[in-house]
Amino acid sequence: MAEVFLNARCPHDFHAESAGLEPGTLNPLVVDVMREAGIDISHKQTKSAFELFEAGRRYDFVVTVCYDAGAERCPVFPGAGRSLHWSFPDPSALQGTRDERLESVRAIRDAIATRIERWCEEACEAVRIPS
Q: What is the count of structural domains for the chain?
A: 1
Smallest CA-to-CA distance from 4 within 82, 124, 109, 101 is with 109
Per-residue pLDDT of the chain (131 residues; tens, 9 = 90+): 999 999 998 888 888 988 887 788 899 999 999 999 999 999 998 888 888 888 888 888 888 887 765 555 677 777 677 888 888 998 988 999 999 999 999 999 999 999 999 998 888 666 554 54
Structural domain for 70, as ranges: 2-127
For residue 41, the domain's CATH number is 3.40.50.2300
Distance between first and last Cα of the chain = 32
Please report, for residues 71, 95, 129, the alpha-carbon distance to residue 4 in angstroms, rounded to integers and kept in the order given: 22, 25, 24
